[in-house]
Structure 1
Amino acid sequence: MEALNKICGVAAPMPLINIDTDMILPKQYLKTINRSGLGKHLFEEIRFRPDGSEIADFILNKPAYRDAKILIAGDNFGCGSSREHAPWALNDFGIRCMISTSFADIFFNNCFKNGMLPITLPQAEVDVLMQDAERGANARMTVDLDAQTITASDGTEFAFDVDPTRRHNLLNGLDEIGLTLEKIEQIEAYEAAAETRFPWLHTPLPTNTR
């Protein structure tokens, strides 16, 4: 998993509340287990017309936001069904940080599992960042996970909290397997001791000769 420390870039404002996972990525794209290639379908039903042409006034189709790395979202972002493909699509598009007043629990957890940073802030602070994002390509924000700060384009700084374990995982590019492998020496030592202490647990079962 790619490590995440500091994100500097354009933030796209999406103030709509209750953006669900089906809006983020429609259900017809859930068949794949490949995490790449889903970015082109991100927000498909509100980003494109039925003929595939772009809806010009959709935020991510505007020139200033085509390379957005941060999303400033309305309340309850990622609600709906528990599809992990939704954060896959956001990540594949290039968005690695989302800021909102609240996220659906499963979506929130899935973001961390995929190297993405969802940040929860009070409404007043989200409003300031939303207004800053609306300024377009000249308003570049910085999200510093190590310092746990967000810096708006005018230098205004906001602090945020992240669970220490999740912060460690993101900073070091660790998923749950990678986190486990950090303890590989202790695991191997335990297994060696267990084999000596409980040898019957490690004896092969007899082969059925019938």
Structure 2
Amino acid sequence: MTPFTTLTGIAAPLPMANVDTDKIIPGRFLKTIERKGLGKSLFADMRYDDDGREKPDFVLNQEPYRRAEVLIAYENFGCGSSREHAPWALVDFGIRCVIAPDFADIFNNNCTKNGLLPVRLPHEVCERLMQQSRMGANARITVDLQRQVVIGADGEEHHFEVDPLRKERLLQGLDDIGETMRLSPAIDTYETRVRAERPWLEAIP
């Protein structure tokens, strides 16, 4: 998993509340367990018409937001079903951070397990950041996880809270498997000691 430290990039405004996971990645695209390739289906029902052509009025079909690394939305982002494909699709598109007033709990958990940083900021701050993002490619937003601040295009800093354990895992680029593998020496030591102390366990089928 790619570590998340400091990100400076284009932010795409999505002025919508209650964006559920079916909007983020519609159910018909959940036939794969591969994380790659889902970015093209991100927000598919909003990005494409019935013939598969891009809708020019959707933000991610416009320049410079095709290259967005930050997405700004309103309340209850990621509600609905618990599909992990939602953060997979966002990350595959190139989004590394979503800023919103709040997130659905399961989506929030899935994000941090996949290198995607969910940042909670008050509605009025999200509104200001959206206004700045509409200035185009020059209006870049910086997200500094170590300092826990979002720096708007106007230079103003906005502090956000993050769980210390999740912060450390994002900074280190560790998912659940990576966290376990980091403990491999201790696990190996324990298993060696148990085999020596209780050799009869080896005989249990």
TM-score, length basis structure 1: 0.94
Give the equivalent residue in structure 2 for 1:144: 144
| 2:43 maps to 1:43 | yes
The answer as to whether partners of 2:111 and 2:118 remain within 8 angstroms in 1 is yes
Structure 2's unaligned 5+ residue stretches are none
Q: For residues 180-195 of structure 1, what are the structure 2 equivalents within 5 Å? A: 180-195=180-195
Cα distance in 2 for residues equivalent to 1:201 and 1:122: 56
Residue matched to 2:178: 178
1:198 positional shift? 2.0
CA distance in 1, matches of 2:199, 2:86: 47
Query: Deviating runs (4+, > 4 A) in structure 1?
Result: none
| 1:83-139 CA distance string (max 9 Å, x none) | 111111111000010000111111111111111100111222222212212222120
Greater alpha carbon shift after TM alignment, 109-118 vs 186-195: 186-195
Cα distance in 2 for residues equivalent to 1:16 and 1:124: 14
Q: CA deviation at 1:204?
A: 5.1
Aligned equivalents of 1:157 and 1:125: distance in 2?
Answer: 10
> Equivalent residue for 2:65?
65
1:31 aligned residue: 31
Distance of 1:44 and 1:194 partners within structure 2: 52
Please name the residue that 1:74 is paired with: 74
**CA shift at 1:25, angstroms?**
0.8
Could you give the per-residue CA deviations for residues 157-180 of structure 1, whole angstroms, max 9, x where no partner exists?
A: 111111111111111111111111
3-state SS, counterpart of residue 63 of structure 1? coil
Partners of 1:114 and 1:142 in 2: how far apart? 20
Q: Are 1:129 and 2:125 matched, yes or no?
A: no
- The CA distance in 2 between the partners of 1:184 and 1:57, in whole Å, is 50
CA contact (8 A) 2:101 2:123 kept: yes
Question: Aligned-pair distance for 1:200?
Answer: 1.7
Using the alignment, how far apart are the partners of 2:106 and 2:38 within structure 1?
19
Report the equivalent of 1:12: 12
SS in structure 2 opposite 1:11? strand
User: Corresponding residue for 1:105?
Assistant: 105
Instruction: Quote the residue 1:208 is aligned against.
Output: none
In structure 1, the partner of 2:166 is 166
Whole-Å separation in 1 of the counterparts to 2:185 and 2:43? 44
Residue 202 of structure 1: how far off its partner (Å) = 2.3
Distance in structure 1 (CA, Å) of the matches to 2:121 and 2:75: 10
Q: CA RMSD in A?
A: 1.1
Letter in 1 for 2:75: D
Taking the aligned partners of 1:78 and 1:39, their CA distance within structure 2 comes to: 16
Work out the CA distance in 2 between the residues paired with 1:41 and 1:181. 32
Unaligned stretches of 5+ residues in structure 1: 206-210
Structure 1 residue 80: deviation in Å?
0.8
- 2:196 matched residue in structure 1: 196
Task: Give the distance between the partners of 2:165 and 2:153, measured in 1 at CA.
Answer: 29
| CA contact 2:74–2:123 (8 Å) conserved in 1 | no
The Cα shift of 1:23 comes to 0.7
Residue in 1 that maps onto 2:87: 87
* Deviation of the 1:62 alpha carbon: 1.0
User: Number of aligned pairs?
Assistant: 205
